[in-house]
Chains A and B, each alone.
Chain A
Amino acid sequence: MIQYWQENSTRMINLTIQHAQMVLTSLLIALVIATILIAIFLRKKNWLNLLIYIFSLLYSVPSYAFFALLIPVTGLGETSAIIVLAFYSEYVLLRTFITGIRNINTNYLEVAKGVGMTNTQVFTRVQLPLALPAIFSGLQVALASTMAIATIASTISAGGLGDLLFEGLQTGRVVPILWGTILTVALTLICIIILKLLENIMISDWWEVEKTGR
């Protein structure tokens, strides 16, 4: 194990960084798209439900097939991988966002209108901040699952930690597989911790107060 690390450390670090870039970029894209979609369709309930339905179907497409299908369109490499990963996160994010927004007590929305907010202001100043806890838990789920799915991106030569896994598979060695797994899990953990820190900063004190009641 250690010998393998000594021989390949630079490459492994590069692969980890590549992996992280792929996952975080796709997550960011998915986050932006989810916010825009919800902002547009929030007041059209049936459209939103249809949207979730479509994304849930996409989610059930095997990731391997999805990667393969995109090759003729966007070619081999990172771009295809990021698109696929973004699609997978999209479903998780949409689902949790919408649940978060729908769970907000409707009294708040009426009061928001009552004190003179426009529909857009109700969305940005009340619905979005109140849904933040749900949004963050959605991000965490999406993060963990895309981290794992991203290893398959190696098959369309997008790089990432999947390279180590497939190297192990092809050469029949366990060590690279173990390293690939450990690094994926470690990277996921680090990202989740960063996400938690971000959550603490953004939600500030009110969520804490709300949970403890004092």
Chain B
Amino acid sequence: MTNEIIKFNHVKKNFGKNEVIPDITFSINQGEFVTVLGSSGSGKTTTLKMINGLEQPTTGEIVVNGKDLKNTNLVDLRRHIGYVVQSIGLFPHMTIAQNIAITPKLLGWKQEKISSRVGELLEMVGLHNADFAKRYPAQLSGGQQQRVGVARALATNPPIMLFDEPFSALDAITRQKLQVEVKKLHQQLKEKTFFFVTHDINEALYLGDRVMVMNRGKIEQFASAQEVVNHPASEYVKNLIDTVRTNQKLWEGLK
């Protein structure tokens, strides 16, 4: 049996009277790159937040890294799960180095270990230029900020990385560049599980080993990109894939 690192078992989530997720069950293997595709209100971000305990399920069981979240110290859990969010993610009152060092500091690492780790991470995300470390987030471009966000999430070398639409506010060129880099990063860092939420269908199909298509709190399909494109499991998935085809026609017509 492969190593299941994230497991949802009949999870249901309500916000007040609003049923956001009626009942989902899925599991993700260690080392997989899973993308979650859905429009706003599909429950994709809620699903992501239930993995690191920012949201708790109304009913159902969630197992992350072998631990049932019901009996787990969530603060400790979050220190060992990388978390990358949309544009506003870096703390404006901390320098880049301080932002990256947050979780290592919370874990009580020694100062030298933190400094060398920060340098190593900045290099990994292509910001090795020494003076980046001392700047404040507002002095960086959107793309650079997202790189720092990824570096911060990787700081403690967590086995799981969560991405909540990290590139949605970036321009197309920067976004594509970062997509390529994230994919490369996943290949480099073997055995790390990436859970990446997006509403961009191309991003989802390009990045994911498997793509989870969500609509109104239900999983419409959870399969490889190829499978999703060639054998859409539902009307919704089919319509989604068709939008890309329509765009392609537009491109052909313009050529």
Binding site for B on A (CB under 8 A): 105, 107-108, 110-118, 121, 126, 129-130, 132, 203, 205-207, 209-210, 213-214
Contacts and interface: CB of A to CB of B under 8 A. Distances in A.
Contact of B91 (A108, A113, A116): A108
A209 B85 contact: no
B93 interface: yes
Interface residues of B, number: 24
Interface in B43-99: 52, 54, 75-76, 78-80, 83, 85-86, 88-89, 91-94
Nearest to B107: A116
Contact of B138 (A110, A132, A209): A209
Interface of B: 52, 54, 75-76, 78-80, 83, 85-86, 88-89, 91-94, 102-103, 106-107, 136, 138-139, 152
Nearest to A116: B79
Contacts, number: 67
Given A105-B88, A107-B88, A114-B83, A206 B136 contact: yes
A116 B80 CA distance: 8
A47 B139 CA distance: 39
Given A114-B78, A117-B106, A130 B93 contact: yes
B89 A111 contact: yes
Contacts of A114: 52, 54, 78, 83, 85
B100 to A, nearest CB: 10
A113 B54 contact: yes
A204 B103 CA distance: 22
A24 B80 CA distance: 45
B89 A116 contact: no
